[in-house]
Amino acid sequence: MKMSDIAGFLSLQNSRLLTIQTPLAGRSELVLSEFQCSEGLSVLFDMRLGLVSRDPTIELKQMIGQAVTISLQPSGAIVGGSPRHFHGYVTQFSHTGADGGLATYSATVQPWLWMLSRRVDSRIFQDKSARDILDAVFSQYSALASYEFRAGRTLKPYSYCTQYRETDLNFVLRLMELEGLFFYFEHAEDGHKLIIDDDSTRAKPVDGPPSLRYASGEILEDEAVVTQWAAQRQLMSGAVSMKAYDYKVPAARRYVSGEADFNQGEVERYEIYDYVGLHGFDSTDRGEELARFRLESLAASGKTFSGTSTGRTLASGRYFELSAHYDHDNGPMQDRQFLLTNVRHHGVNNYQSSEGSGSYHASFQCIRKKIPFRPPLAHARPVIPGPQTAIVVGPKGEQIHTDALGRVKIQFHWDRIGQRNHGSSCWVRVSQPWAGGGFGSVQIPRIGDEVVVTFLDGNPDRPLIISSVYNAQNMPPWALPAGATQSGFLTRSHKGTAENANAIRFEDKLGEEEIWLHAERNQRIEVEHDESHTVGAKRTKTVGADEIVTIGGAQTHTITGARTQTIGADHTQTIKGAHKQNVAGTHTQVIGGNASITTTGPQPGAAGTVGDIEIQSSQGKIHLKAATEIIIEVGASVIHLKADGTIEISGPTHIGLNSKS
C-alpha cells in the first residue's frame, strides 16, 4: 500500500463499520481491522482485535490495562440508529508484523471483572451475605468497578465464609453460582457495567426492533435477520436430592429432593444425590432453594437453540422474538421469545477499500425466555487437603474463651486481617477422645495454644480442631529430652502462674517407675463400692492439718510387725460399744500425769500371768475408791473394806500387824 493510500485509509476511521478509541493518537493511532467478541450469561466477555498502525515502534506496555471502545455501526435498515459499543480493558497486546506498509498488532480486551483474576487472597468473612461479600471484594477495585445488583430477593448472611488461596474472581463467581445469581455486562461508549440478577424471565428486549425475521439462505447485509436456526436437546439429570447435617440440631432430618419441571421424553429421571456436608443448608426452605437452583440450571441446558444473524444488537441477557419460522410462527408469543445466553460477534473492516466497507455477523445460543436461567456450579471451592495449625484466641485479659459446646475461637497463620481476638473466627468445635450425652472427656484449648485444625470434606468453611502442639513459646511441662520417659498431664490454674497446676505424671524409667499425682488445692476421691489398696513395701502418709475418717461399718487393722503411734497432743477415744484388747506379749503403759478410769458398770479384770504384778507410785500416792466396798484377796487371806467404815481382815491361820518403827 502506498503512503498516500495509508493516509487515506487512516482518515476513513470514522466511516468504517468498526471503529476503535484508544489512548494512542497521531502516528501511533490504531485502526481496527478485525473484531471478535464472545459474551454470555455468567461468562466474562472476551474480545480479540486485529489492529494496524503507521507506527511499528509502539511500546506494548502503553496499551496494557488501558480502556478501549469498539463501535459497531448500525445496519442501514435502522434509520437514525446509534452505534453499538463494546468497552473493555486491554489485557494482552502484541506486535505481530507488517502488512503493506502498516504495522500489525493484536489485542485482547476483557471486562474490569477479569482484573479479579490477577489477585489471590486468603481471608474470612463472618455474618455477611453474598452481596455484602461482593461489595467488599469489589471495593478493592473502586477505580474500575462498575456494577449494579438487580436481584429481587434478600440474600441471607453466611456465618462463616472463607476465601483461601483463591483468586478474587473465582471467589465471587462461585458465590454467585451458589446463590443462583447470574450476570452480564451493559456497554456504553465510556464504560461497561456488571449487572447481577436472579430472574432472567424479566429480561429486556434487544435494542432496536425486538423481532428478528428468519430468512434462511438470504444475503441481507443491511437487515437484521436470523440466517440459521437449530434446536438441540440434551439428556440431563431429572432429579436432585441433597442432604446436610447440623450439629446444633443433630436429630433434624436435613434432606430435600425435587424433580425437574421439563419433559425429556420417555426416559428415566436420573437423580443427582449430593451430600453437601455440615451446615450445607440450615432449613428445609434453604435446602429446597438450593435444589431448585440446580434443577433450573439443568432445565436451562436441556433444550437450547442456536443460530446466526446479521443483527448487530444481539447481546447476552437480552431477548428477541423470532418471526417467520415454520416451527414457531403458530405457537404462543412466549414460545417465540428467546433469551440470549451466548453471543459471538465477528466483524471485519476492509481497509483495502476506500469506501470503508466491511462485514459483520453473529452466532448465538439461546433458551426460551420463560425458562429461568441459572448458572451451573462451574467454579469449585478450594480444597484444603490436609491439616493446618492455628492459634486459639479470645477477649483481651482472658485465658479461656469457650461456649456451651466446648468450642473455641482461632486465628489461622495465613489470616492477615484478624486481630487475634474473639472476632477472628467463628466458634470452632474441638475433637475430644470421647464425647457422649453428658459423659466423655473435656479438654478446652487455652488462649495462646497452637492447635491442629482439619477441614471436613476439605472445606475451608468447616474447620475442626483435632489436637494441639507445642512450640518455642509453649514448651512441654517437663524438660525434654531429659524427661523422655515421663508422660502424663499437667494443667494450669486459671489466672494462675507456672507454679499453679494439677498434675498426673508417669515415670517409665526402668527401676524408677512412678506415678505422681498432684492436686493444687483440693482432692476428692469417690468410690461407690469396694476399694482396695495394696502396697508392696513402705507407705508414708503425711497430713498437714486435721484428718477426719468416717467409717460406716466395722474397721479391721492387721499389723504383722510392730506399730508405733505418736500423738503430739491429747488423744480422745470414744467407744459406744464394748472394748476388748488382747495383748499376746508384755503390755507396758507409761502415763506421765494422772490416770483415771471411770466405769458406770462392773469392771472385772484378770491377768493371766504366772509372774508378779506390781503397782507402784514412785512419787505420789495410789488412791483406790469405790462406792460400796473394796475387797483385796490373796489365796485364803482377805481384806474387806465396807462403806460404813468396817474393815474386816481374815485369814485361816495367822493375822499379824508389824510396825517397823
CB atoms within 10 A of CB 323: 14
In a domain, 659, yes or no: no
When divided into structural domains, the chain yields a total of 3
Whole-angstrom distance, CA of residue 112 vs CA of residue 91: 10
Give pLDDT, residue 9.
Answer: 55
Q: Which helix (H) or strand (E) holds 503?
A: strand 503-507
Range 442-446, long-range pairs (CB < 8 A, 24+ positions): 442/406, 444/400, 444/402, 444/406, 444/408, 445/392, 445/408, 446/392, 446/399, 446/400, 446/492
In a domain, 421, yes or no: yes
Give pLDDT, residue 477.
Answer: 94
Give pLDDT, residue 650.
Answer: 85
Q: Average pLDDT for consecutive 10-residue bins of the chain (661 residues)?
A: 53 76 95 97 98 96 98 72 94 92 96 98 97 98 96 94 98 98 98 98 95 82 88 95 94 93 88 92 93 96 96 97 89 94 95 69 97 97 97 95 97 95 93 95 96 97 97 95 95 92 96 95 94 91 90 88 86 84 80 74 60 68 82 85 87 70 57
Say what the pTM is. Answer: 0.85
Give pLDDT, residue 276.
Answer: 93
In a domain, 500, yes or no: no
Q: What angle do the packed helices 168-178 and 130-138 form, to 10 degrees?
A: 160
Whole-angstrom distance, CA of residue 320 vs CA of residue 206: 6
Give the residue from 302, 333, 355 where a domain finishes: 302
- φ, ψ (nearest 5 deg) of residue 618: -80, -20
Burial class (CB in 10 A: 0-12, 13-18, 19+), 280: buried
| CATH code of residue 405 | 2.40.50.230
Q: Yes or no: say if 20 and 68 are a contact pair by the CB < 8 Å rule.
A: yes
Is the same domain home to 7 and 106?
yes
**Cell digits of residue 601:** 458398770
Is the same domain home to 7 and 99?
yes
Q: Which helix (H) or strand (E) holds 452?
A: strand 450-455
Helix (H, G, I), strand (E, B), or coil: what is residue 102? strand
In a domain, 183, yes or no: no
What torsion, rounded to 10 degrees, do the Cα atoms 517, 519, 522, 527 define? -30
Domain of 425 in residue numbering reads as 383-477
**Cell digits of residue 488:** 502424663
In a domain, 595, yes or no: no
Give pLDDT, residue 25.
Answer: 93
Look-up: residue for cell 456504553?
188
Look-up: residue for cell 473493555?
88
* Residue 114 φ/ψ region, left for φ over 0, alpha for ψ in the -120 to 50 degree band, beta for the rest: alpha
| CATH code of residue 100 | 2.30.110.50
Whole-angstrom distance, CA of residue 424 vs CA of residue 617: 85
Distance of CA 556 to the CA centre of its chain: 60
In a domain, 93, yes or no: yes
| Beta-strand runs (E) in 201-351 | 211-214, 225-233, 239-245, 255-259, 271-278, 303-309, 319-323, 337-349
In a domain, 399, yes or no: yes
Give the residue from 422, 456, 477 where a domain finishes: 477
Give the residue from 302, 330, 345 where a domain finishes: 302
Give pLDDT, residue 236.
Answer: 95
Whole-angstrom distance, CA of residue 501 vs CA of residue 477: 10
Is the same domain home to 9 and 101?
yes
Burial class (CB in 10 A: 0-12, 13-18, 19+), 227: buried
Nearest to 319 by CA among 206, 447, 446, 221: 206
Is the same domain home to 392 and 293?
no
Which residue stretches of 421-503 are H helix? Answer: none
In a domain, 313, yes or no: no
- φ, ψ (nearest 5 deg) of residue 295: -65, -40
Give pLDDT, residue 205.
Answer: 98
